[in-house]
Chains A and B, each alone.
Chain A
């Protein structure tokens, strides 16, 4: 907010540049689920622009990790820098914040659709599965291949931190579920 105020006072309108930046970030893919961009995932929390006397236009991209131990964070930061550099943004700072903690609620509807087409069942709405109760009923997760709800959990932990492993009892295919977080 302060930045906007400063810009208005300085008579600079960054809105076109900001839109370009968000579009560019929408082309940076998550290395572990390459069908999703980092904006689909909802891990880009903010983009700030400021003028520095010696450096010129400085871009700050604020991101948050999906999981504390997400091994893709360093690569994602690098990809952000490279993508923006290719488009003339030479001074880029990538900042990581932890709070508020990332949630699958921030995933875009478009992202969920891409996941389904890719063969990964997208996260269900949060209130259904993120309960802290230990022995709550298991939620029915639809199979991304045949859409059957007749599926069963194999393991709460899958090929990456953000996925669980399921099996479809109808088409017999195993599949990943992008678990609610």
Chain B
């Protein structure tokens, strides 16, 4: 009989809620980690603190999702006769630190490199706008854990959205140089936004059961809100041109990542890989 490898969850419809929970956790962890790379390197002290605070919120949200995923995994394994009884319990830490690249389900947008401040800000804006709608919808989930985590996270994301919107406007409507940079950032990031709205198989299952959200339903509001901020920033033209360009399909959500995620994990997971079970 085949044994379930530590932290590897089979892709079966009955595991959809686990995969969905991990997907939310991975999105928050990876973007949070990217933002934390700015800590100590921000353009000015106040913004260094701001981006670090946003990183902290995202990692906190990731922890809540990982804890819930671990709970579900441990429960499902108790009912599985093929699993060793002496197997170690899955924890939030083992999910974050001991899964390999292909098991991560974050969208490609979240793992893209920080680039300059404009790219970091625009990536945050695209994702916060998405999370804002997602958590708003997910707080109505029939699953009480997902709804509680989302209800809490929504308040935090509201601040992230306001902060990143203001920065997009400031850069787009600022100097020639700041405008040039936000437009370059747009060219680099826009293609990754499409994946946010393409449902993976596990998203469809949980959405059908009223536990999760089919992200395609969030797209009209997302486009409307992004357009509003872009118009204010004076870069609405870029958006109408960008729409016709190439799109990225379903990738990260199914474990197919860009080369960047491997480097992120090499740093994020180093300690647990080098010193297994290290604790302090």
To the question of whether A and B form a pair in one complex, the answer is yes
A-side residues, CB < 8 A to B, are: 65, 67-71, 97-102, 130, 132, 134-135, 154-159, 161, 165, 179, 181
Question: In the bound complex, do residue B64 and residue A99 qualify as a contact, i.e. CB atoms below 8 Å apart?
Answer: no
Listed from nearest, the 9 A-B pairs whose CB atoms lie closest are: A69-B60, A68-B60, A99-B148, A157-B50, A157-B53, A98-B148, A155-B46, A69-B56, A101-B152
Q: Which residues of B contact A165 (CB under 8 A)?
A: 46, 49
CA distance A107 to B159 in the complex (A): 20
Known: A68-B63, A70-B60. A101 touches B155 (CB 8 A): yes
Q: For the complex, is B229 an interface residue (Cβ under 8 Å from A)?
A: yes
Partner of B64, one of A98, A155, A159, A181: A98
The proximity string for B residues 195-211 relative to A, scoring 1 for CB distances below 8 Å and 0 otherwise, is 00000000000000000
Q: For the complex, is B151 an interface residue (Cβ under 8 Å from A)?
A: yes
Q: Which residues of B contact A181 (CB under 8 A)?
A: 155
Contacting A at CB under 8 A, from B36-79, are 46-47, 49-50, 52-54, 56-61, 63-64
Q: Which residues of A contact B148 (CB under 8 A)?
A: 97-99, 101
- Please list 13 pairs of residues, one from A and one from B, whose beta carbons are closer than 8 Å in the complex, sorted by A's number: A67-B60, A68-B64, A68-B156, A97-B148, A100-B151, A101-B154, A134-B161, A134-B228, A155-B50, A156-B163, A157-B52, A157-B53, A165-B46
Q: For the complex, is B158 an interface residue (Cβ under 8 Å from A)?
A: yes
Given A68-B63, A68-B64, 12 more contacts at CB 8 Å?
Answer: A68-B149, A68-B152, A69-B61, A99-B147, A101-B151, A134-B161, A155-B50, A156-B163, A157-B50, A159-B49, A161-B57, A165-B49
Question: In the bound complex, do residue A69 and residue B151 qualify as a contact, i.e. CB atoms below 8 Å apart?
Answer: no
Question: In the bound complex, do residue A99 and residue B54 qualify as a contact, i.e. CB atoms below 8 Å apart?
Answer: no
Closest residue of chain A to B169, judged by CB?
A135
The proximity string for B residues 123-156 relative to A, scoring 1 for CB distances below 8 Å and 0 otherwise, is 0000000000000000000001001110111111
Question: In the bound complex, do residue B46 and residue A161 qualify as a contact, i.e. CB atoms below 8 Å apart?
Answer: no
Partner of A69, one of B50, B63, B149, B155: B63
B96 to chain A, nearest CB (A): 14
Q: Which residues of B contact A158 (CB under 8 A)?
A: 49, 53
Q: For the complex, is B193 an interface residue (Cβ under 8 Å from A)?
A: no
A66 to chain B, nearest CB (A): 10
Closest residue of chain A to B51, judged by CB?
A157
Question: In the bound complex, do residue B155 and residue A134 qualify as a contact, i.e. CB atoms below 8 Å apart?
Answer: no
Known: A134-B161, A157-B49. A69 touches B59 (CB 8 A): yes
B-side residues, CB < 8 A to A, are: 46-47, 49-50, 52-54, 56-61, 63-64, 144, 147-149, 151-156, 158-159, 161-163, 165, 228-229, 232
A105 to chain B, nearest CB (A): 12
Q: Which residues of A contact B165 (CB under 8 A)?
A: 134
Q: Which residues of B contact A70 (CB under 8 A)?
A: 60
Closest residue of chain A to B132, judged by CB?
A132
Question: In the bound complex, do residue A98 and residue B149 qualify as a contact, i.e. CB atoms below 8 Å apart?
Answer: yes
Question: In the bound complex, do residue A161 and residue B56 qualify as a contact, i.e. CB atoms below 8 Å apart?
Answer: yes
CA distance A149 to B41 in the complex (A): 33
Question: In the bound complex, do residue A99 and residue B46 qualify as a contact, i.e. CB atoms below 8 Å apart?
Answer: no
CA distance A145 to B49 in the complex (A): 24
Interface centre among B59, B61, B152, B158 (most CB of A within 10 A): B152
Q: Which residues of A contact B232 (CB under 8 A)?
A: 135
CA distance A159 to B45 in the complex (A): 11
Interface centre among A71, A99, A100 (most CB of B within 10 A): A99
CA distance A68 to B238 in the complex (A): 35
CA distance A179 to B57 in the complex (A): 15
